[in-house]
Amino acid sequence: MGRAVGFVSYRHRGAERFFEGVPVILVRHGKAQEKALAREQITRSELMEAIRREGHTSVANIRFAVLENDGSITVGAKREK
């Protein structure tokens, strides 16, 4: 079964997205995307934990946070002026 899924995913982009998922933006320009958080069932506490792990204390200081296909959250800080 795994080989069949791998083959179909390799040959068809839509199937790959179905099986693998797509990254989801959780924070954009310092603002949490509440609908995305709810849809992905991620609490504010979980989001803040990922932000603190990167050394930040506020969503306002974050340029983006993305829920990756593997379930990890990637955080990018705003540039300091």
The CATH number of whichever domain residue 65 belongs to comes to 3.30.240.20
CA distance 49 to 75: 11
Q: Could you say which residues of the chain have pLDDT below 50? A: none
Residue 17 has what pLDDT?
53
**Domain for residue 69, yes or no?**
yes
The pLDDT value recorded for residue 11 is 60
For residue 7, the model assigns a pLDDT of 54
54 domain residue, yes or no: yes
> Would you state the pLDDT for residue 80?
73
Q: Please give the pLDDT value at position 75.
A: 96
Q: Is 44 inside a domain boundary?
A: yes
- Are residues 65 and 75 in contact, defined by beta-carbon separation less than 8 angstroms? yes
**Inside any domain, residue 32:** yes
H or E element that contains 76: strand 73-77
Residue 22: what pLDDT? 86
Predicted pLDDT of residue 71: 92
Q: Structural domain tally of the chain?
A: 1
Mention every residue, 6+ apart, whose C-beta is less than 8 A from residue 15.
8, 9
Q: Do the domain assignments include residue 17?
A: no
Residue 45, in any domain of the structure: yes
The domain containing residue 48 runs over which residues? Answer: 22-77
